[in-house]
A and B are shown apart, each in its own frame.
Chain A
Amino acid sequence: MTAIPQAVPEYDEEQHAARHGRALSALRAVETRTGVRAHTPARRQEPGPGAAILPVGPAVAHLLPDAGLVAGTTVVVSGSTTLLLALLAAPSRAGAWTVFTGHPEVGLAAAAGAGCALDRVLCVPDPGADAPAVLAALLDGMDLVVVGPRAALLDADRRRLTARARERGTVLLVAQDAAWPGAHVVLSAGPGTWEGVDHGAGHLRRRTLTVYRTGRGDAARPAALRCTPVAAG
């Protein structure tokens, strides 16, 4: 009798752990919702290695240290709304609820074109004097909260909102030119190019941007990165 060497399927420890983690978190979510388990916000202290990551599209993934938006962090995106929409598209399509607060000029046709699911997008075009209260209420329920230029905030409000986002596990995206204290990642779009128009022969197709990244933690080392947030066929 001869022993036939069999191809033993390689046991992928890492993949197994990731799947186990996903299954556990899904079960926990259902238990919390159905009331079997009490809601325990105490787990969320500092968004660290354990926090959920909302993956972003491949065109912009290299701009972020974790290749995605980490739940509970504050990300400043200035200089380009196209870049902001490209960051939002993949999480929105994956089921995240998005709200644009104080950003009345955002082109939602472009958001839909970038891949956002408009049935999970809301707009609060003018939060007025209630901006801090409106944003606090939205941070409780939404997954991605965009703060636009029309949201009037003080620095104290900004610190409070960052803390609240961390506590609730919501991603706070800031599209204001003013500095935001305590932001985890700051992406500021520099000069870029548009390709496709050819003295009347074509139309805008391909956007290339240089993005300067600063921030805290993994993003602390400044970097200048190139990306192509829009590349139409």
Chain B
Amino acid sequence: MSGVRTAVVWVPDWPVVAAMAAAGTGAHLPAAVLGAGQRVVAVSAPARAAGVRRGMRRRTAQQQCAGLVVLLADDARDAAGFEPVAAAAETVVAGIEVVRPGLLLLGSDGAARYHGSEHELARELTEAVARDAGHECRAGVADGFLAAVLAARDETVVPHGGSAAWLAPRPAADLRHARPDDSALADLLDLWGRLGLRTLGDVAALPAGSVRARFGPLGTWARRLALAEDARPPARRRAETGITATTELDPPASRADVAAFAARRVAEDLHAQLVARGMACGRVVVTADAADPVTGEPRTCERVWRTDDATGMSAARLTDRVRWQLTGWLTHGTPEPAPITRITLTADEIAPAGATQPALWGASAGEGLRAVRAAERVQALRGAPGVLAPRPQGGRDPRSRIQFVPFGEDVPPERAPDRPWPGALPDPAPAVVLTDPLPVRVLDATGADVVVDVRLGMSGEPALVRSERGAARVTDWGGPWPVVERWWRPDGAARSVYLQIVTDDGDGLLLAQTDGTWRLEARYD
């Protein structure tokens, strides 16, 4: 049995190509991408010529090539950058499968007939990618996945039925091109090398039963690839154009109830489209186009809402989400509310409906569902920002260590909480953080104001804290600790000195001094 005719489009050194495109580095410079453990994971052609190889340490690589441009690995960037390449290939053939960023797989039977021959198809693919995406790529056609990947590396077309013979003299180590970064496969290939299986022909000649018995499913898979048999034909990626629902508002809606009526229409439209296709979405993007009432300048607001993945979202709940969002924009839009001229809803992260099965036990089993429903009822009463979900984030003072997002809204975290944050105030954090800091005066035993200078020297021991609400005697104090943040930015610089105070009634206070004045930030009660 021979595998299906498969064409492969391969962009050499994709991680480094994508990284250089994102960083704006010229293609003539030697560059390398560093992955986990400061090891090189991808090398550009000039760097390879200078002797830099995959798996090298950063220092060794820079020793080989002094002018090496070092870039950091980023899977998301690789995947996003590859989308134009996939789109360019889709202008030539209808269905493609992205195996990994840098490698495209497609069934070549019908496409080759349409374009005249397999050589013609390969030429069309490389031209389309170079023209539309601006990247050099190689294309090859053969029977089965492994043969096609290797043919793309050689830029050849292996004739029909000849792939097994074409593969046979090649080294067995070429199997790693089918699954790079698979350490189990690398171990197996190493073992086979020591057992004397040097070429793919040697691997293919082994009896299937013995391979299965000794090397398990991975061995069977490798032997099938060496025989140019395919585990499965390429999956056709369906070009989902994205499901959207739009409505134009003429005259523009400036009142919340008018917008709510439109929201209902557009939400029901989107829901009907999703149901008609049998799809469910993980996120909904709400976009509103508005026109400034005075200057007529167009403005766009966009917000992403996460839907319940377990239950999907009914039309009524979708309507509520959109209505709250529009009401929010119409009542406290920035810089000022503007009448909405168009509402667009886009379903994101589309997957076949019913593909997620709720578990019988545990968190996804609907134990949180009751709570989520209650929170949504409160949002219906108080608007979306009425219910906030706190999230830990990085920061030095108690106020900046928590990020509040409206419940259900998909907002990226501002600062990573798992970084060290040197100079952060010591734990435990204060149990009461004042919404508005209260100006206070800190006095020493003689009645003079206590001031902390730049070298953290205090002008006297604090003895009394006085505010407009009263005064408290100080029994003990901790600090002062300086927190100097974002001094490199012209706008966001913040320099404060923090002081913990224990008052005579046993409570703790957190005071901060900025520009010589003290304020009460938080209480440890």
Convert A110-147 into 0s and 1s, putting 1 for each residue whose CB lies closer than 8 angstroms to a CB of B. 10111000111111111110100110011011110000
- In the assembled complex, the Cα of A130 lies from the Cα of B382 at a distance in Å of 8
Q: Which single member of A33, A201, A232 contacts B428 (CB below 8 Å)?
A: A232
* A181 on interface, CB distance cutoff 8 Å: no
Docked-complex contact B365 and A33, CB < 8 angstroms: yes
26 contacts between A and B (CB under 8 A): A33-B365, A80-B431, A95-B367, A97-B368, A105-B433, A105-B435, A107-B430, A107-B432, A107-B522, A109-B402, A109-B429, A109-B430, A112-B402, A118-B390, A120-B371, A122-B375, A123-B387, A123-B390, A126-B386, A127-B382, A138-B374, A140-B370, A141-B373, A142-B374, A194-B508, A196-B478
Q: Which residues of B contact A79 (CB under 8 A)?
A: 525
Q: A33-B365, A130-B382, A192-B507 are in contact. List 5 more A-B contacts (CB 8 A).
A: A82-B525, A109-B429, A122-B390, A193-B502, A198-B476
* A230 on interface, CB distance cutoff 8 Å: yes
- In the assembled complex, the Cα of A104 lies from the Cα of B391 at a distance in Å of 15
Docked-complex contact A113 and B428, CB < 8 angstroms: yes
Convert A67-106 into 0s and 1s, putting 1 for each residue whose CB lies closer than 8 angstroms to a CB of B. 0000000000001111011000000000101010000111
* A207 on interface, CB distance cutoff 8 Å: yes
- Closest Cβ of chain A: how far from B31's Cβ, in Å? 40
- In the assembled complex, the Cα of A202 lies from the Cα of B428 at a distance in Å of 13
Q: Which residues of B contact A97 (CB under 8 A)?
A: 368, 371
* A220 on interface, CB distance cutoff 8 Å: no
Q: Which residues of B contact A221 (CB under 8 A)?
A: none
- Closest Cβ of chain A: how far from B500's Cβ, in Å? 5
Q: Which residues of A contact B388 (CB under 8 A)?
A: 122-125
> Which residues of A are at the interface with B, using a C-beta cutoff of 8 A?
30, 33-34, 79-82, 84-85, 95, 97, 99, 104-110, 112-114, 118-128, 130, 133-134, 137-138, 140-143, 189, 191-194, 196-205, 207, 230, 232
- Closest Cβ of chain B: how far from A113's Cβ, in Å? 5
Docked-complex contact A113 and B427, CB < 8 angstroms: yes
Docked-complex contact B401 and A134, CB < 8 angstroms: no
- In the assembled complex, the Cα of A95 lies from the Cα of B364 at a distance in Å of 12
Q: Which residues of A contact B409 (CB under 8 A)?
A: none
- In the assembled complex, the Cα of A142 lies from the Cα of B522 at a distance in Å of 28
Docked-complex contact B433 and A192, CB < 8 angstroms: no
- Closest Cβ of chain A: how far from B448's Cβ, in Å? 18
- In the assembled complex, the Cα of A33 lies from the Cα of B500 at a distance in Å of 49
Q: Which residues of A contact B430 (CB under 8 A)?
A: 107, 109-110
Docked-complex contact B477 and A80, CB < 8 angstroms: no
- In the assembled complex, the Cα of A8 lies from the Cα of B361 at a distance in Å of 35
Q: Which of B472-520 contact A (CB under 8 A)?
A: 476-480, 500, 502, 505-508
Docked-complex contact B398 and A142, CB < 8 angstroms: no
Docked-complex contact A200 and B374, CB < 8 angstroms: no
Docked-complex contact B381 and A110, CB < 8 angstroms: no
Docked-complex contact B479 and A137, CB < 8 angstroms: no
Docked-complex contact A109 and B506, CB < 8 angstroms: no
- Closest Cβ of chain A: how far from B327's Cβ, in Å? 15
- In the assembled complex, the Cα of A33 lies from the Cα of B370 at a distance in Å of 10
- In the assembled complex, the Cα of A96 lies from the Cα of B366 at a distance in Å of 13
* B360 on interface, CB distance cutoff 8 Å: yes
Docked-complex contact A199 and B390, CB < 8 angstroms: no
Q: Which residues of A contact B502 (CB under 8 A)?
A: 193-194, 197, 204
* B524 on interface, CB distance cutoff 8 Å: yes
- Closest Cβ of chain B: how far from A18's Cβ, in Å? 20
Q: Which residues of B contact A109 (CB under 8 A)?
A: 392, 398, 401-402, 429-430, 433
- In the assembled complex, the Cα of A142 lies from the Cα of B378 at a distance in Å of 12
Q: Which residues of A contact B221 (CB under 8 A)?
A: none
- In the assembled complex, the Cα of A230 lies from the Cα of B428 at a distance in Å of 8
A108 touching B390 in the complex, CB below 8 Å, given contacts A197-B476, A203-B478, A204-B500: yes
Docked-complex contact B432 and A194, CB < 8 angstroms: no
Q: Which of B108-150 contact A (CB under 8 A)?
A: none
- In the assembled complex, the Cα of A33 lies from the Cα of B364 at a distance in Å of 12
A191 touching B435 in the complex, CB below 8 Å, given contacts A124-B382, A199-B477: no
A141 touching B434 in the complex, CB below 8 Å, given contacts A82-B524, A110-B398, A113-B427: no
Docked-complex contact A141 and B370, CB < 8 angstroms: yes
Docked-complex contact B508 and A204, CB < 8 angstroms: yes
- Closest Cβ of chain A: how far from B366's Cβ, in Å? 6
Most B Cβ at <10 Å: residue of A108, A112, A142: A108
Q: Which residues of A contact B390 (CB under 8 A)?
A: 108, 118, 121-123
* B377 on interface, CB distance cutoff 8 Å: yes
Docked-complex contact B479 and A203, CB < 8 angstroms: yes
* Nearest B-chain residue to A123, judged by Cβ: B388
Q: Which residues of A contact B374 (CB under 8 A)?
A: 137-138, 140-142
